[in-house]
């Protein structure tokens, strides 16, 4: 059996049918990681207990005892999500030696379903970035072209799935960090509704925007993972009590009667013509599947990036105040307490993180609070209102995930504003709390993947996954692999 050609759902069925053991499966991916990680830098830490877990699961299955729905499935977890006994650094020197004493709720749920955490993936420090160049552990490379970024901040998670080092990765998305790297690496990435998935154990960046979600080859695989990780959690007071359907159940429903809005503001200047024509082609595919399309407006879109880059740094400046050298972090040598705080934060945080802390602290300071944070919160409400209006007319909103394909490593290093502006299509979903998915929709002339974004009403991930799955049933982009990392040909 050629494991590299199997997605998570297929792996799980082969494992359960006994065509494959969990040990063989884990060994295959550990070997892929060993061969590939040096060139991509997607993983920062590999689990040394994964094989042991696989043996236990195989033994349990062999003895006829029940196993969970993900039994034996390898899962890579972004390094900003706590894993008990396994280092969790958030890509920062500050947490270089941090070993959490507990699992994040989603990690617990994956383990309880008998999934196997295979390792921790590289990321922009504290999830701040769109390129995974801002990691204390070095930049991640895009498997489609080693001189390109994989996107960020979940760049390690996206690269490892694209390069067949894990069938599933978990990412987090505060302003696009699941969807944009999914788009740059040619995989499927889902940001669930705010509150759908527990944030307990996710190292906080901007708590009113952060969400955890799956990064997989296909929508079907994302449905499988979301069904396991979603749901209320008493440990996260913002997690929602809504019922969690089995998202794999509604995938086959035809798109007849589904109304898709093409967001006018997502096709404005700055959009690469190649990305535009690819998204327009994808629209035709969805129409041919029975969906009805029309143009809609999200009129406050031009203010979304500015709003996000006030709200997110404000929340970050407050969340990151805890890294003071006293508790679980790196501590700089100093002679008195104040000096210790200053030296620790000066040496422990990278430049991008410090920039955000300064921006956020400034915007929250008493003289400027009204002008920045309060104003941004008002615009945020208007953005949410745009969505409420649009979802009165349509079921899904379609557009590009990112204005361009993966940019070159270093291209935006000296121009943070250019990097921030590229988040234009992704940040609004976080500001409004709605779910959104990025799926592969084409390959550019230079051989780089292009992503399509669909957004839905709150708690309607089912509609996103259904449309994405239907699209993937008639297109092959999600199955196209980076030339460098094609598995052995069968
Ligand atoms: N690129 C955005 C930022 O830099 C989003 C990051 C994220 O979603 N974690 O803040």
Q: Is 210 in the pocket of ligand 1 (CB under 6 A)?
A: no
Catalytic residue status for 384: no
The reply to whether 290 falls in a domain is no
SS3 label, residue 148:
strand
pLDDT at residue number 485: 66
The reply to whether 400 falls in a domain is no
The span from the CA of 159 to the CA of 143, in Å, is: 6
How many angstroms separate the first and last alpha carbons of the chain? Answer: 9
Q: Is 157 in the pocket of ligand 1 (CB under 6 A)?
A: no
Q: Is 183 in the pocket of ligand 1 (CB under 6 A)?
A: no
- Total domains, the chain: 1
The reply to whether 381 falls in a domain is no
The span from the CA of 106 to the CA of 452, in Å, is: 26
Catalytic residue status for 207: no
The reply to whether 67 falls in a domain is yes
Q: Which atom of ligand 1 is nearest to the CA of 422?
A: 1
Q: Is 128 in the pocket of ligand 1 (CB under 6 A)?
A: yes
The span from the CA of 323 to the CA of 15, in Å, is: 43
CB 119 within 8 A of CB 29: no
The span from the CA of 427 to the CA of 54, in Å, is: 38
Q: Cα(86) to centroid of ligand 1, in Å? A: 24
CB 291 within 8 A of CB 258: yes
pLDDT at residue number 418: 87
Count the residues in the chain.
Answer: 490
Domain that holds residue 208: 3-258+458-479
- DSSP letters along 275-306, please? HHHHHHHHHHHHHHTT-EEEEE--TTGGGHHH
pLDDT at residue number 151: 98
pLDDT at residue number 489: 45
The reply to whether 425 falls in a domain is no
Q: Cα(217) to centroid of ligand 1, in Å? A: 22
The reply to whether 391 falls in a domain is no
SS3 label, residue 115:
coil
Q: Cα(426) to centroid of ligand 1, in Å? A: 9
Q: Cα(128) to centroid of ligand 1, in Å? A: 5
**Which neighbouring-strand residues pair with 259?**
292
Ligand 1, atom 10, residue with closest C-alpha: 128
Q: Is 153 in the pocket of ligand 1 (CB under 6 A)?
A: yes
Ligand 1 pocket test target in 128, 351, 357, 412 with most atoms within 8 Å of CB: 128
Q: Is 130 in the pocket of ligand 1 (CB under 6 A)?
A: yes
| CATH code where residue 138 lies | 3.90.1300.10
| Residues in the chain, pLDDT under 70 | 485-490
Q: Cα(434) to centroid of ligand 1, in Å? A: 16
Catalytic residue status for 153: yes
- Residue keyed to tokens 């061969």: 35
The reply to whether 442 falls in a domain is no
Q: Cα(419) to centroid of ligand 1, in Å? A: 10
Q: Which atom of ligand 1 is nearest to the CA of 356?
A: 10
Q: Cα(49) to centroid of ligand 1, in Å? A: 31
Q: Is 174 in the pocket of ligand 1 (CB under 6 A)?
A: yes
Q: Cα(175) to centroid of ligand 1, in Å? A: 5
Q: Which atom of ligand 1 is nearest to the CA of 206?
A: 9
The reply to whether 467 falls in a domain is yes
Q: Which atom of ligand 1 is nearest to the CA of 180?
A: 1
Q: Is 129 in the pocket of ligand 1 (CB under 6 A)?
A: yes
Among residues 153, 239, 402, 438, the one annotated as catalytic is 153
In this structure, the dihedral spanned by the alpha carbons of residues 483, 486, 488 and 490, taken in order and rounded to 10 degrees, is -90
pLDDT in tens, 238-252: 999 999 999 999 999
Among residues 9, 47, 78, 131, the one annotated as catalytic is 78
Ligand 1, atom 4, residue with closest C-alpha: 129
How wide is the angle at C-alpha 284 spanned by C-alphas 300 and 474, nearest 5°?
Answer: 120
How many beta carbons lie within 10 A of that of residue 109, not counting itself? 21
């Amino acid at each position: 059996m050629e494991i590299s050609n199997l997605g998570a759902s297929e792996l799980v069925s082969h494992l359960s049918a006994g065509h494959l053991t969990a040990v063989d499966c884990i060994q295959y991916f550990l070997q892929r990681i060993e061969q590939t990680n040096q060139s991509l830098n997607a993983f920062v830490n590999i689990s040394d207990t994964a094989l042991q877990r696989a043996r236990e699961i195989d033994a349990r299955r062999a003895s006829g005892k029940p196993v969970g729905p993900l039994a034996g499935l390898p899962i890579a977890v972004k390094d900003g999500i706590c894993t008990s006994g396994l280092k969790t650094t958030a890509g920062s020197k500050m947490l270089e030696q941090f070993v959490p004493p507990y699992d994040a709720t989603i990690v617990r749920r994956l383990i309880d379903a008998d999934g196997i955490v295979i390792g921790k993936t590289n990321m922009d420090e504290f999830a701040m970035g769109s390129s995974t160049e801002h990691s204390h552990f070095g930049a991640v490379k895009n498997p489609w072209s080693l001189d390109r970024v994989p996107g960020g901040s979940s760049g390690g998670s996206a690269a490892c799935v694209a390069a067949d080092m894990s069938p599933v990765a978990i990412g987090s998305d505060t302003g696009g960090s699941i969807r944009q790297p999914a788009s740059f690496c040619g995989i499927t990435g889902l940001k669930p509704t705010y509150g759908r998935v527990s944030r307990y154990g996710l190292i906080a960046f901007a708590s009113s925007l952060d969400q955890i979600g799956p990064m997989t080859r296909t929508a079907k695989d994302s449905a499988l993972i979301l069904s396991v990780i979603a749901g209320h959690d008493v440990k996260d007071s913002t997690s929602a009590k809504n019922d969690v359907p089995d998202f794999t159940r509604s995938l086959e429903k035809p798109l007849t009667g589904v109304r898709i809005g093409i967001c006018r503001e997502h096709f404005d200047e700055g959009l690469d013509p190649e990305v535009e024509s690819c998204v327009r082609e994808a629209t035709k595919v969805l129409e041919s599947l029975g969906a009805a399309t029309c143009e809609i407006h999200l009129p406050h879109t031009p203010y979304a990036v500015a709003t996000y880059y006030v709200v997110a740094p404000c929340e970050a400046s407050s969340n990151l105040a805890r890294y003071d050298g006293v508790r679980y972090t790196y501590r700089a040598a100093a002679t008195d307490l104040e000096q210790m705080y200053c030296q620790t934060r000066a040496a422990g945080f990278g430049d991008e993180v410090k920039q955000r802390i300064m921006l956020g602290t400034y915007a929250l300071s008493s003289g400027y609070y009204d002008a920045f944070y309060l104003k941004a919160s008002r615009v945020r409400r208007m953005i949410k209102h745009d969505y409420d209006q649009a979802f009165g007319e349509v079921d899904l909103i379609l557009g590009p995930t990112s204005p361009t394909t993966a940019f070159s490593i270093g291209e935006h290093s000296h121009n943070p504003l250019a990097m921030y502006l590229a988040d234009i299509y992704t940040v609004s979903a976080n500001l409004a709390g709605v779910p959104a998915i990025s799926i592969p929709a084409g390959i550019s002339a230079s051989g780089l993947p292009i992503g399509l974004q669909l957004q839905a009403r709150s708690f309607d991930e089912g509609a996103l996954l259904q449309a994405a799955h239907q699209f993937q049933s008639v297109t092959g982009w999600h199955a196209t692999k980076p030339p460098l990392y094609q598995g052995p040909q069968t």
